[in-house]
Structure 1
Amino acid sequence: MSLARSRRGSNRGFTLVELLVVIAIIGVLVGLLLPAVQAAREAARRMSCSNNFKQIGLALHNYHSAYKKLPMQMGGTSRPGTNWFQAGDQANQLSLGWLVGLTPFFEQQAVWEQISNPSVVNLAAPGTIRNPPWPAMGPTITDENNVNGSGVNTRNTAYAPWMTEMSTLRCPSDPGTGLPAMGRTNYAACIGDGVDFMADGAYFPNLNPSSARAENIRASGRGVFVTRIAMGFRDILDGLSNSIAAGEITTDLGDRDKRTIPRFGIGFTNARDNPLFCRNQPAGQGLDPLRPLFWASGVTQLAASNQGRGYRWASGTATYSSMNTILPPNSEVCVTFSDTGQGMFPPSSRHQGGVHILIADGAVKFITDSIEAGNSATATVRLNGTGAQSPGSKSPYGLWGALGTRASRETESIED
């Protein structure tokens, strides 16, 4: 009898209390492990992001070895007499970005062949042959289309290369994908710590050259890349290891993020002389005081849904593929009048606490948001500026600004 009781007792299952305790323990373990798993995944994405940037840096050096100069930011073909920001099929109107020429150097030869030759592929009418073909180096990439007085806001989304998204140009930590963007990029050329004439360079909007404008951009274009001017390593007098060539940017997700959708309409003078203009606006017209990473709901002059940061990999306009070292990383983007304007274009990322930057010598560094950045309220250097704003002055924006200039001869260093 006692033996039977012993056998029955040894076969009993778990009680409800025991099951609940086990489930609770498993829940606690999962809760402890999940953040570690997420952190490991983000670390892997961040490393992949850095590796992509290194590939671009290597491509930049190979390009320079081949052509003895860097790819131009805002270069390409032109049809003088028509404003460069107007859409057209005959030329790209000197609007191509630095990444276009690099495509064959980071294993995108097929894309380069499409761009550098006339193309009959028409995404607007699949299966048909475009006649006449797209020209070599492609059409424009801008939104404005007043060529025929129509005033229609459109893009050349029928041209296949401009719509191509390449993995090398994407940071895995950035979840943005697909429309309303064209091909996205997370890497932008550094155009220095100046603002004046950064939109057009030494040209009038109709692409006629101007000696007066050339003098202005010579004074304010202090980065490794300068709008519509071919630069080379010989121009980087501070040394390749002390100058930022490019920075990481995050693309827009349609959520009014201050880093990815510009606030428009600030005016030329404010863009040049008041870097904190957008931040210091009255309640409802600037940043949301309760959510300072986002624009307030009352900010009406924002970009169109297809004008987010990094939305057009092939475009050389600052909104899409440039950065400057005026405001610290992950600060707000603020533009004069449209996506083709000038203003504040700090780098940004989905990584915690900072961004990747590409040094001109090919090294990739992680820069924190708290980098010493001088006085952000100070006006930018420009032609006819006085005091700290006179041409050739050291950067008003501390270490951050000094790293963005190529020839300011300031003492600077980045620790690993």
Structure 2
Amino acid sequence: MPRSHRRAFTLIELLVVIAIIAILIGLLLPAVQKVREAAARTTCTNNLKQIGLGTHGIHDAMNSLPPAIGHFPAADTSWQTEAPPVWILPYVEQGALFSAIRAQGGINPGTAGATDYNGNSPVVPKTYLCPSDATYTQAPGISGSTLQSFSEYAVNGHVFGTVTTTVSGGLPVSSNFSWVGYKTFFSGFPDGLSNTILWIEKVAVCNSAANGAGGSRWAARGQGSWMPTIGDVEGTGNHLAPTLKPQVGVSSPTQCDWFQPSSSHTGGLQATLGDGSVRFISGSVSQATFNMALVPDDGLVLGSDW
């Protein structure tokens, strides 16, 4: 009985198969990346929602919002002045971390590494990290959950601080910024809670700096500080800069300015509003609308691009 012979693939057929596989991979890879970014964005949304709930929780317990930087309550001067990312820790299920920071004397904002007074880099809760941020692995001293900027979400200085705001040419302009605010949800938001930004995304590190600050800086208020804040350029002058708009699609520290809100998301970035909701703000939002969303008491109506 004659043996049957199996026909082998020719070189051309093999190349065709390889080409088809390569095409399929090329088609699938963008889809996988989109799914991954969608999942990361969902995590980021959940983080901001949790932070918003924590902010409302501390307000309910203390009858005011914490200051951008200060003692809280104001009469408690027994330890280092801190900022909202620290103050709300017990209200985002991080009470043990809050107690540890307090026991160590707080986080030292005067050091480039934002260490505590024992020289240890603070452990950053996952709630404060956006998985989409393409910059945090590109900065020195960052490893795993240890991030020298204590939060990748910035507070709105016009809410947690005190700013003198006037309206000029249909735009809110401001000066005389103070880190201490102690606003309440009942009287501090005449424009409406749903029309005012509380927290917003800000990538871990930016190399570009406005006002001659220069150098590689954390996405914070300055000098390697650990507390990201927007709308509060240090010193005097207008704290609603003409370029204070979302920087989106950031993939490198060289693509962002440390004074500005920023995100690695495509097309926009996310913010927690005063009512606790989370909103995706387009990167093409007008300057006027964005400025108005930062100021809780300018009496202006948000534009249609909000």
User: Which residue number corresponds to residue 227 of structure 1?
Assistant: 179
Corresponding residue SS for 1:20: helix
Structure 1's 409 and 154: CA in aligned 2 closer, same or farther, altered over 3 A?
closer
> What displacement does 1:360 show?
0.6
* C-alpha separation in 1, matches of 2:272 and 2:16: 52
> What displacement does 1:157 show?
4.8
* C-alpha separation in 1, matches of 2:198 and 2:113: 32
User: Which residue number corresponds to residue 28 of structure 1?
Assistant: 23
For the Cα contact (< 8 Å) 2:107–2:117, is it kept in 1? no
Corresponding position: 1:330 with 2:247: yes
User: Which residue number corresponds to residue 289 of structure 2?
Assistant: 399
TM-score by length of 1: 0.57
Identical columns (%): 31
* C-alpha separation in 1, matches of 2:285 and 2:41: 19
User: Which residue number corresponds to residue 59 of structure 2?
Assistant: 64
User: Which residue number corresponds to residue 179 of structure 1?
Assistant: 141
* C-alpha separation in 2, matches of 1:45 and 1:311: 26
* C-alpha separation in 1, matches of 2:174 and 2:279: 21
Aligned length: 268
> What displacement does 1:68 show?
1.1
Structure 1's 26 and 58: CA in aligned 2 closer, same or farther, altered over 3 A?
same
Q: Which has the larger radius of gyration?
A: 1
Paired AA for residue 169 in structure 1: Y
Corresponding residue SS for 1:44: helix
1:197-216 to 2 correspondences below 5 Å = none
* C-alpha separation in 1, matches of 2:289 and 2:28: 39
> What displacement does 1:320 show?
3.8
* C-alpha separation in 2, matches of 1:185 and 1:302: 21
Corresponding position: 1:263 with 2:229: no
Corresponding residue SS for 2:127: helix
User: Which residue number corresponds to residue 100 of structure 2?
Assistant: 114
- Unmatched 5+ residue regions in structure 1? 78-89, 120-134, 144-152, 202-216, 253-259, 267-300, 335-344, 374-397
Greater strand proportion: 2
TM-score by length of 2: 0.76
* C-alpha separation in 2, matches of 1:264 and 1:64: 33
Structure 1's 413 and 47: CA in aligned 2 closer, same or farther, altered over 3 A?
farther
Corresponding residue SS for 2:27: helix
User: Which residue number corresponds to residue 228 of structure 2?
Assistant: 321
User: Which residue number corresponds to residue 302 of structure 1?
Assistant: 214
For the Cα contact (< 8 Å) 1:157–1:182, is it kept in 2? no
Corresponding position: 1:188 with 2:154: yes
User: Which residue number corresponds to residue 277 of structure 2?
Assistant: 363
Corresponding residue SS for 1:235: coil
> What displacement does 1:368 show?
1.1
The match for 2:38 among 32, 43, 51 is 43
RMSD: 3.4
